[in-house]
Structure 1
């Protein structure tokens, strides 16, 4: 037992169960420095990837900072074959011998992580980025097959994951009721993080059309990009949507149908290392997301860091994330968004006021502040585990 304690204290090792294969994040241009290793806290980071062959580690090294990165591609594991693959995953994690296991989902990835945590007595740090009960309601209306799967996980998967977690963080206050329904662990709000200096001090892109309204987000029903597209019909400006997803063709067809090709364009992806230039080139940032599921998505934080006026839907009561005096809250329809676009574009003083408020608010989400807290959480989990081992 003493040998294990010494080994764990001399080298810090993290094991991660990401929500998607890392190659998916790479293709979307979403590889962010130290995302999996705040403050370079760990010496090694091991990712368990549910795919036959994931990306080469060297292409995404910056996601773990200075740590050694190892990706373990274990093949597709789903609700049907999870049990037959579980022992192999547990043995793999046992061999890695991490100080902490981290998951970002209470679904299959979280279930595997929780089982490893329980079996190997390793602390589990669970981070949640969406409201799963609201996702279920949405799926019931739009995708009944997906809804049935989520009803299964609600009963047999999610409660186990949430109850197994030693620490739970959430990126929105709106997720808290979901956590408390399944667990006695009170979640800590740890918002998404952004490098404020990088976004504020960026150069703009001279070739982009002006005045530019920017929207960044996956092209899915939750993001409601149709509202933004329709809102441009009476606006003297250009809407640039950066994102890809299941609605790409449908949204492009809508643009053509409304004869808005000169006012609206969609760019599938931008490397994360260049995304700040697009924010810096815009006059307004807008996102018409479903406020039952999200309240302050990552692109909203990035836009504030760049000093952009923000237009987003009215939040669910009690879940404004302190944006009442920062953002313009809009009804989630094209007329309201259009009116707000016109109001801001026509008033330079208002643009300046909103820009200052955005910059001030963005400091709460600065990468140094959020990373410091993440590293503290990891340290607390390791110290607590080492204390328990010594007492045993």
Structure 2
């Protein structure tokens, strides 16, 4: 019997509430018979509600307590104790900080292979520069873990480091741990996304959609301001600390009647909410690629996206997107190009759909399965 242990990034209850539960997310290729998810929470969700993440395996959820400055070593002890009872064949941690540290520490203690997936920029400086003052507490927490040597412990002891995009991988490949690095993008299963073939008719009002958390790392105020210069509508899906600022920006720009706010949409309902729109636009400050961009591409929508702050072209969508300066003027000019040449909606949308199969969930799942099988084979050999 093969057992997989994962230290998750956050509560499964939150992921379930957001509709972010994906099939076989923690059992690629249905390798395992049991999947054990350890969460840094005081309590968590009934496993039956999120069983799909484990595929055919039986799912177990083990909350071990919420981290506080004074209990980090006690939580480490609890994690090792739970892992010892589970007897995992492979351990995965999410992120190079607390979850990744507990995962690699337990793996070294139990002498089993481990890997750490990396979902954000590994540069604390760049994250702070991107997210601003609201990131201050998290910065202090991560600097504390650096001072303890726990982040470095992750890089030294994980058998593999698996960034979810190239921006994080580029930094890791400049270190002595470069041979451990393998990028595996987040999974977009194309059988869930039918090409909607959006089409803009001459004289029809352009309808734009944006999905994402509304915070400094994804600041859509330039996109909202762009509407004051074009005849277009914008649907913003998501919530976050910038919501009130978005509302006031729409009002001050005189476009509030053309901006619609939707708090949340389950992943399964994304195709229906996209229907009737013509393109997906986003101003994203943080490096890498976000899931909504890949989902929009899978649905066949053209992408309008800002130039990355740290150079290069946007990941995944760069070769097929309309890449613009991240300003109101930059987005205005891009939207005008679609309005003046309506055929660009279907043409660039087709390029989006043609590009995304290279990053399909099926391929990413197969890569992660191969990685795990290699770890199992290397340790057993």
Residue 3 of structure 1 corresponds to which residue in structure 2? Answer: none
Aligned pairs for 1:304-323 (under 5 A) are 304-315=297-308, 316-318=310-312, 320-321=314-315, 323=317
Residue 149 of structure 1 corresponds to which residue in structure 2? Answer: 141
RMSD: 2.2
Aligned pairs for 1:155-234 (under 5 A) are 155=147, 156-180=149-173, 183-186=176-179, 187-201=181-195, 211-234=206-229
Structure 1, unaligned runs of 5 or more? 1-10, 388-392
3-state DSSP of counterpart to 1:125: strand
Residue 53 of structure 1 corresponds to which residue in structure 2? Answer: 43
> 2:100 matched to 1:106?
no
Which whole-Å deviations, capped at 9, do the CAs of 1:33-79 have from their partners, x for residues lacking one?
Answer: 22222222221111111111111111111122221111111110244
3-state DSSP of counterpart to 2:38: strand
Deviation, 1:140, is 6.0
Residue 63 of structure 2 corresponds to which residue in structure 1? Answer: 73
Deviation, 1:350, is 1.5
Residue 7 of structure 1 corresponds to which residue in structure 2? Answer: none
Aligned pair partner of 1:252 in 247, 250, 254: 247
| Residues 72 and 210 of structure 1: CA distance in aligned 2, closer, same or farther (over 3 Å) | farther
> 2:266 matched to 1:271?
yes
Distance 2:86 2:269 in 1: 35
Distance 1:210 1:23 in 2: 40
Distance 2:50 2:373 in 1: 25
Deviation, 1:98, is 1.0
3-state DSSP of counterpart to 1:188: coil
> 2:26 matched to 1:36?
yes
Residue 377 of structure 1 corresponds to which residue in structure 2? Answer: 371
Distance 2:176 2:86 in 1: 28
Residue 329 of structure 1 corresponds to which residue in structure 2? Answer: 323
Deviation, 1:31, is 1.2
| Residues 365 and 299 of structure 1: CA distance in aligned 2, closer, same or farther (over 3 Å) | same
> 2:354 matched to 1:360?
yes
CA contact (8 A) 1:163 1:183 kept: no
The aligned length equals: 371
TM score, norm. by length of structure 2: 0.91
Deviation, 1:313, is 1.4
| Residues 122 and 280 of structure 1: CA distance in aligned 2, closer, same or farther (over 3 Å) | farther
TM score, norm. by length of structure 1: 0.88
| Residues 313 and 202 of structure 1: CA distance in aligned 2, closer, same or farther (over 3 Å) | closer
CA contact (8 A) 1:106 1:162 kept: yes
Structure 2, unaligned runs of 5 or more? 199-203
Deviation, 1:159, is 1.3
Distance 1:34 1:144 in 2: 35
Deviation, 1:348, is 2.4
Residue 390 of structure 1 corresponds to which residue in structure 2? Answer: none
| Residues 379 and 78 of structure 1: CA distance in aligned 2, closer, same or farther (over 3 Å) | farther
Residue 345 of structure 1 corresponds to which residue in structure 2? Answer: 339
Residue 4 of structure 1 corresponds to which residue in structure 2? Answer: none
Deviation, 1:280, is 3.9
| Residues 260 and 294 of structure 1: CA distance in aligned 2, closer, same or farther (over 3 Å) | same
Distance 1:81 1:167 in 2: 28
Deviation, 1:278, is 2.4
CA contact (8 A) 1:103 1:109 kept: yes
> 2:257 matched to 1:262?
yes
Residue 23 of structure 1 corresponds to which residue in structure 2? Answer: 13
